[in-house]
Amino acid sequence: MSAMLTVEGLGKSYRVWGSEWLRAASWFGLQVKPREEHWVLRNVGFSVAPGESIGIMGRNGAGKSTLLKLITGTSQPTEGRIIRRGRIAAILELGMGFNPDLSGRENARHSAGLMGYTLEQIEAVLPEIQEFAEIGEYFDEPVRTYSSGMQVRVAFAVATAFRPDLLIVDEALSVGDAYFQAKCFKRIQSFKEKGMTLILVSHSVGDIVKHCDRAILIKGGAVHADGPSREVSNLYLDELFGKKPALLQAEATDLPREMGAGDEDVFHTRPYYNADEHRWGQGGARILDYVVTSGGQEFPARVESGARTAFYVKIAFDRDFDSVVPGFLVKTIEGLFLYGTNSFLSSGGQAGISVKAGQVIVCKFTMPLDLNEANYLVSLGISSGDPLMELTPLDRRYDAIVLDVARGMQFWGMMDLKADFELVEASS
């Protein structure tokens, strides 16, 4: 069976020429040397079989988006070749191909037309596109009035109005809300079941493992690894966070070695940090730092389900407070609320905390994290007031941490309720 996509010796460089004459000469195949040359991709090769699901992973700047532009034909390679088969639909950069002065409906007609569909075919699916996007009357308003999430809704609805042979999805879906992301992945899954080929670029290890059979890790503009999605995802995590030495076996009982003194905000420098966090609050306190320990390691590449896991949180206070309450929350990557607690609840009402301006405290939440294998979002917060009455949020860092949980023995659902089984009686 012929491959749906074949990439051979692919390379892309961006060149700086000494003059416009030299640039023009290069267009005609003359052997002229640029003043500077930066290779984004070099000697990239792989193939994708019909019906296969491929995840593409890599750090920012690794060349993932450039690779997708080359595959879709929106950019031309400097060397190598790409062989494509079938009809390709792609969702790349946000708003790519949309005219901001045209309405969503007009852009839908234009985009579908560029994909090769007739006006009759387009008009037949426009109601379905509008219904799937769920942006109401905005569908007939200029795209420049849209939020980023609304643009993604229309772009995805158009790209998947007709089932493509190959669907390419970049990080654009990450700007959408959890409800619409789930809706998109449901449609993708239904298309996959009918034989569609998928290429998915995502920083979410959970999405890659869940939706892709195979993954490719791009590093330094080249293919670093190509294999089963779970194995390649582990390599990606090792690259992000590094392998921790196996020397630390005992659970830390005091302050983690990485959480030093001072009141500098280093929260964003920590492993697991999610740059798309939502931070808000009335002020008076600042969440400065966190450290996650599990299995005797600080920031392990993956947290083992059921392992005793501690979340250390450093908080600085700019005012006096008679009562403050640290909080903890964990959700699925789709936004489903799983568990929340605070210092009052977790201590049985015993942990009353009063602070002075200029004071810095470190608190700790410890739990076994009996979750199924997946990525999860962790939120941290600090509030003031009576925990039995109304609390005032001082600093909330929602979805600030992405936690990758591993589990050898899977179960159905998300949380392990630790059911026991026994055979009570068996008749002969």
Chain-wide mean pLDDT for the chain?
85
In contact, 108 and 123? CB cutoff 8 Å: no
Q: pLDDT of 37-84, one tens digit each?
A: 888 899 999 999 999 999 999 888 888 888 988 998 888 898 999 999
Structure-derived torsion over alpha carbons of residues 295, 298, 302, 304, reported in degrees to the nearest 10 = 20
Q: What is the pLDDT of residue 59?
A: 86
Question: What is the reported pLDDT for 251?
Answer: 39
**Any idea what the Cα angle at residue 243 is, between residues 237 and 245, rounded to 5°?**
155
For 16, phi then psi, to 5°, come to -115, 125
pLDDT of residue 16: 78
**In this predicted model, what pLDDT tens digit does every residue of 199-235 receive, in sequence order?**
998 877 767 877 888 999 999 889 999 999 878 887 8
pLDDT in tens, 338-376: 999 998 888 876 667 889 999 998 999 999 889 988 899
Quick one: pLDDT at residue 428?
64
Report, as an integer, the average pLDDT of 163-172: 85
* Span 9-31, pLDDT tens digits: 999 988 777 777 777 767 666 77
How many angstroms separate the CA atoms of 278 and 272, rounded? 15
Asked if residue 246 has pLDDT above 70, the reply is: no
Give the model's pLDDT for residue 3: 87
Q: Which of 175-179, 200-204, 216-220, 421-425 has the highest mean pLDDT?
A: 216-220
Residue 339 CA to residue 337 CA, distance in Å, equals 6
315 touches 285 (CB < 8 A): yes
**Helix boundaries (H) for 73-203:** 104-114, 119-133, 148-159, 178-193
Q: How far is the C-alpha of 361 from the C-alpha of 392, rounded, in Å?
A: 19
- pLDDT of the residue at 252: 38
Whether residue 379 is predicted with pLDDT greater than 80 in this model: the reply is: yes
Count the Cβ atoms, other than its own, within 10 Å of residue 20.
Answer: 8
* Residue 345 exposed, middle or buried by CB count within 10 Å (0-12, 13-18, 19+): middle
* Residue range 284-297, pLDDT digits in tens: 999 999 999 998 88
User: Per-residue pLDDT for 93 more than 70?
Assistant: no
For residue 390, the model assigns a pLDDT of 75
**Residue 123: closest CA among 132, 131, 112, 134:** 112
Which comes out higher in pLDDT, residue 26 or 189? 189
Of 122-136, 269-283, 412-426, minimum mean pLDDT range: 412-426
Q: How confident is the model at residue 244 (pLDDT cuts 50, 70, 90)?
A: very low
Cβ-Cβ contacts under 8 Å for 64 (sequence gap 6 or more): 56, 57, 58, 170, 201, 218
Phi-psi region of 60 (alpha: psi -120 to 50; beta: other; left: phi over 0): beta
| Between 103 and 389, the higher pLDDT residue | 103
pLDDT of the residue at 247: 31
Cα(397)–Cα(380) distance, integer angstroms = 5
**pLDDT score for 403:** 93
Q: What are 123-165's pLDDT values in tens digits?
A: 999 999 999 999 899 999 998 998 888 888 898 898 888 899 9
The Cα 329–Cα 277 span in angstroms is 13
What phi and psi values does residue 424 have, to the nearest 5 degrees?
-80, -40
Structural domains of the chain in order of their starting residue, each with its CATH number: 5-240 (3.40.50.300), 267-406 (2.70.50.60)
